[in-house]
Chains A and B, each alone.
Chain A
């Protein structure tokens, strides 16, 4: 993922297939793990940990969505709603039935996978814009159900409050504790996605995305492949929803509306379609964009305008930038930030011998 690969030789198929075949790569991974799980949480402020938590949760959802959109070529505008399915399943399980966190995670993920797979069924017959509309319908239907079926949402406001998860009898109340909780799931999600993509399931996804007719003729069951992708992707969405619920201490369907679905699509597009690293970069980017914008406008804008004007400009500017970036990446660099990263990497691949 992060290293150059010149002058390394593989002796067995297993070695050739390893996720990180190069010794240097393994060192890099070890460093990343050390930074993520030791150094960063040690030095980060509570505020930074809060941001990191939001990024971590978003990254997990983006990785899942990217499996569907980037790798399998199916669109979903219903992912916000699939997250809410996970969120409410977990909220009901934990607040009403006292199910522990691992049960809530598995339950939320599975329920969302079930619902996502169901709404993926039309993908057999329809593609592109039509599938977009049909998943948009899923978004609206699920929102409506959560808001109106009081058995699920508990009535007024449809908000369910949830206690922080308690691991080995320890309630994860602080941002730091939640950080570890979230990033363990992110790490699992990253490895799981990378593995899926390098095995027969992932190859089938890409085959269906690139040439569905040829894929079917060489023996790939397109329907099953698409549904598998919907299932995996919405399982990720479900777990993402559960993590949001634990982090915020409540499940609220309004936090999973259409805007959220679109934001996640933006992460995937800006980060890089089909790339796990890209999903993470996209999640970082989209989460930090409004904050950076606010800070910049706050300091620069304040010189010319009053606070209210700055705030209103910031919101519209954010939307414009958002749309502009999506268009930029769709048109100019469909492989997103991950491609920009790869360009840098390719440059250094044979450095300092550019003529090799």
Chain B
């Protein structure tokens, strides 16, 4: 696969909830080893866009393809198995389970041992538990969370939870990584380390990253491409420099936040 061939293509995706048109025909392309950021005010439809890609709902209109294969309309678990992993704006870890178990769950769909094999913990089940554990431990090292691996995920502070959730998405070794405000509620240092992890991901794997983020500084620093959404419509796109200079954007979004 060549670098400039898009990994994920979203075409004309639309979705309305009741009367509210949350997303009205948005298109985008995400490339391997690149970070595509989506910005826009609250309620712009950013989360809805990501939900549409990961199959949370069937879009009213439009198409999503992953490496040329259509994935829109598939059940969420099939979209995940096709290679789309994500995090959630409001962290969705399994709070009662340990960090390790949460990460193992990120690889659950790769594990095929039968009920019998699992129940006897013999053969395939045992082999899988050990080999996937070994993979998961690599990500635990990468994210520097080895000292909390046996702690219940729900007991961790938000910043760590977001890191663990990134880990749960990464262990799936996805083709596309969707991150919904991974730095929300973080302090500066935490944001910096999260940005570092995201950059490491695109440097070490050929994952395409789609990032929703409010912190303009971070977005401008690490993105390859930026898309601006407002009221379900894409009002601008381009490199960070282009977007920053776009008058519509300054008026509709950047201007507002700066004024506020």
Contacts and interface: CB of A to CB of B under 8 A. Distances in A.
Contacts of A210: 94-97
Contacts of B109: 218-221
Interface stretch (A77-85, A169-177, A195-203, A287-295): A195-203
Interface centre among A198, A214, A222 (most CB of B within 10 A): A214
A216 B94 contact: no
A220 B113 contact: no
Given A17-B130, A195-B118, A217-B54, A203 B105 contact: yes
B80 A217 contact: yes
B216 interface: no
Contact of A199 (B88, B95, B97, B121): B121
Interface in A201-229: 201-204, 206-207, 210-211, 213-222, 228
B250 interface: no
B224 interface: no
Contacts, number: 112
Given A17-B129, A206-B97, A219 B118 contact: no
Contact of A218 (B75, B80, B130): B80
B75 A216 contact: yes
Contacts of A13: 129-130, 133-134, 137
Given A17-B129, A206-B94, A218-B80, A200 B115 contact: no
B76 A196 contact: no
B186 interface: no
A221 B112 CA distance: 12
Contacts of B92: 211, 213-214, 217
A44 to B, nearest CB: 30
Nearest to B83: A219
Contacts of B121: 19, 195, 198-199
A199 B96 contact: no
- The binding surface of chain A is classed by DSSP as helix
A67 to B, nearest CB: 11
Given A210-B96, A219-B172, A232-B115, A199 B77 contact: no
Given A17-B133, A196-B119, A219-B81, A203 B108 contact: yes
Interface residues of B, number: 41
Contact of B108 (A211, A218, A232): A218
Nearest to A17: B129
Interface in A114-170: none
A217 B86 contact: yes
A203 B75 CA distance: 20
B156 interface: no
B190 interface: no
Interface string B47-76: 000000011100000000000000000011
B81 A195 contact: no
Interface of A: 13-14, 17, 19, 192-193, 195-196, 198-204, 206-207, 210-211, 213-222, 228, 231-232
11 contacts: A17-B129, A192-B119, A198-B129, A199-B125, A204-B105, A210-B97, A213-B76, A214-B88, A214-B94, A217-B54, A217-B79
